[in-house]
A and B are shown apart, each in its own frame.
Chain A
């Protein structure tokens, strides 16, 4: 049985990061430039890491599948970023942010990682302000804060409703500054645009390079380095309909998994409670309405089943403000998993609103009466406009209709305290790893983790790996590169040779529908068992009947999509197997067999207090489950209550 060592530093929780920093082997500036680091992805984690590593003197190669690093999907985050600044003097502290994050994750994350995240959170805000990120400010010129779900303090910093965009542009600017240095021997970052990672190259068991496709010419290219960093985001698009961008994909993580990086907790998929409901069969993605709306908006469903009156015509006494009713202390700011399930329950009872009855109201009438339309417009104007553009309805006059949608994946590549996967030299940061959010992520914590990993954690943890050993000289002519490139080319040819009748998107849509129905908001044994064989069957059909027109030697979007969907077909199966294996409910993972009479999740700490890391075997052998037992020394395992 494989053993997982998280390599946590010894000592008290509060001292672990400091003692790690003191104990780590250092590299002098003149030695750093001898190491080439390949960073894949340019979101908050990847962009931040590439820039910082180059500032520190490493030779950095950075890859993006976009035409520009600025389009990475971090750009779409709306609400904000958490930090334990305690500027509001409302009782916040590093320990409270740590505790809220552990509790929000339903006690399924690693204490030491989460504590470090809370520790560096303040530095992130300082760094971003100095870069020129235009955070929203009070009239006195100081930074404003707001509240987010799962917290009773105001610790969220924000830039109107475009926090992700502004933080990303900060990282992008830092990256541009390093690109401008020229790269290579001149120092800085050598940037490779429109490149999609298609495989990882290992030599003597260590990650030493990547194979990518130039998405304009179709050329397959090899790049060698001393370490590889994946900052390639999450896998919500396995559900087809999600809040992720169309191009967000899991191929890099999945290819790494197939080369030996364990994939942890795939069943922890976050369903965001406040998204615009599906409008029809043609729908290509779902749009999120920031959680920050729950600061002032009130969520309700009609009390009566099959209600047909318009929202405004339903009297107060016939409305059910179910979050306020069920969770009086957190009310509309209950964590995401809880808010999502409560919406599903209301709709399952026949009390849903809008087309197909899959929606509930998010109502600003009270807030507009209390604060005035101008104040609401100042806080959320762009979100109101966005909603109106998409639905044609005016949320100042009629409440938003919202419904949960796949949004973020807490699961991902298993990493130790150093953010290193089970392949030595292969690191994973940001949403691509599994490390900090347990079974449920709190709002405004994804941006925090992305930048923490990118700016502060990875640059510190990669140094002892590079300093600690003699890596043999490997370049692109090494036979391992030729071998992997050959396998990539075979896969390209195989996809083009199917010449079937169904578009890639039609397979993706079917996979998504299947997973959403059987492994979505609520899961149970029978459906999961069925889903596993159905995903297998669909995968079989994909390889026999997919249509990928065009050639490999040119810009071919159908081919790009086919690579990604082929990997989702495998990931989808593991998602269901993990969900089936975890016979408990925790965070975003609800097994209908394990809940209280009033629908609250029932955790089983006796048997399931571990992270499930899945170890790839081969095409014909299912992954082996390897457990990382979670040990809680600083917090007491408690039943999560937001009542």
Chain B
């Protein structure tokens, strides 16, 4: 199949960007979306031109590096699928495909399709952990964990930190991302001691980074490659409220 690509090119953070047009020829339906771009890039390099810069690593949907808005949708048309696991069999020959970076004030573009997601790391650093030094842990079976709670914690912990939730949200809100971590740790007995400081710290950092507020559109869940539920956002709101108004004495 042959495709026309309209790709966002931006030489650096401070430079102006624009949409450029490329032809992708002889694309096999068994190629992944990123492999299709590899082929375009190989041709560009053989002509001595700079390849399209894009973030990618594991190419099996778990590292969270890949991040493209494809025809206006974060990670493209398939549900619960990262860009790297999107295959060309879902496109038609002759189609024009628009490829853009994540768009959010808190995720500035570094080059072409690569954005700076370090804001996510700073949110995690503001409380996304359980304080336990290496060597301090009791035997793993000391604490039993209800299976439902463990499963719900795991479903939240599956977040890969890609940022599609932010890219899809009209407010560029990071609530689903924050909710996933707050819920993962808050659902486990081991995470109770810091439950309040964690939610307060992470939400404060989220606001400082310039992410928008949640207005319940649900776009985040729709594009999330791990299908993380917005019910965790409700849980985050409850935790935040409780932590804000409660006091130990």
Contact = CB atoms under 8 A, between A and B. Distances in A.
B58 to A, nearest CB: 4
Interface in B184-210: 184-185, 188, 190-191
A303 interface: no
Contact of A73 (B57, B132, B184): B57
B42 A386 contact: no
Given A67-B55, A126-B139, A140 B45 contact: no
Contact of B137 (A85, A126, A162, A556): A126
Nearest to A83: B140
Contacts of A555: 12, 53, 110-111, 114
A558 B38 CA distance: 11
Contact of B144 (A141, A550, A556): A141
A423 interface: no
A272 to B, nearest CB: 13
Contacts of B213: none
A279 B160 contact: no
B125 A176 contact: yes
A471 B63 CA distance: 39
A87 B144 CA distance: 14
B57 A51 contact: no
B154 A131 contact: no
B61 A386 contact: yes
Interface residues of B, number: 80
A247 B57 contact: yes
Given A173-B124, A282-B39, A547 B46 contact: yes
Nearest to B121: A68
Nearest to B88: A282
A52 B12 contact: no
A87 B142 CA distance: 12
Contacts, number: 220
A501 B110 CA distance: 28
Interface in A236-256: 245-247
Given A127-B132, A127-B137, A558 B147 contact: no
Interface string A50-74: 0110010000000000111111010
Interface residues of A, number: 84
A247 to B, nearest CB: 5
B188 A284 contact: no
Contact of B58 (A75, A159, A160): A75
Interface stretch (A164-172, A202-210, A482-490, A623-631): A164-172
B126 interface: yes
Interface in A111-128: 123, 125-128
A244 B57 CA distance: 9
From A67, A140, A164, A176, residue with most partner B Cβ within 10 Å: A67
A22 to B, nearest CB: 16
A161 to B, nearest CB: 10
Contact of B57 (A130, A180, A216, A245): A245
B87 A75 contact: no
B146 to A, nearest CB: 6
Interface string B99-130: 00000000000110010111011001110111
Contacts of B50: 549-550, 556, 558
B34 interface: yes
Interface in A522-553: 547, 549-550
Contact of B158 (A66, A140, A162): A162
A45 to B, nearest CB: 13
Contact of A506 (B42, B64, B126): B42
Interface of B: 11-12, 28, 30-32, 34-36, 38-39, 41-42, 44-46, 48-51, 53, 55-65, 78, 80-81, 85, 87, 89, 110-111, 114, 116-118, 120-121, 124-126, 128-141, 143-147, 150, 153-154, 157-158, 160-161, 184-185, 188, 190-191
28 contacts: A52-B134, A55-B133, A68-B117, A68-B161, A70-B64, A73-B63, A123-B137, A131-B137, A132-B153, A134-B188, A141-B144, A141-B147, A159-B157, A162-B62, A174-B129, A177-B129, A180-B126, A246-B56, A282-B31, A285-B60, A386-B61, A499-B48, A502-B46, A547-B45, A555-B110, A555-B111, A555-B114, A558-B45
Given A67-B55, A131-B130, 15 more contacts: A68-B120, A69-B121, A71-B65, A127-B132, A129-B143, A132-B188, A132-B190, A134-B153, A176-B125, A282-B31, A282-B36, A284-B32, A459-B134, A555-B53, A555-B111
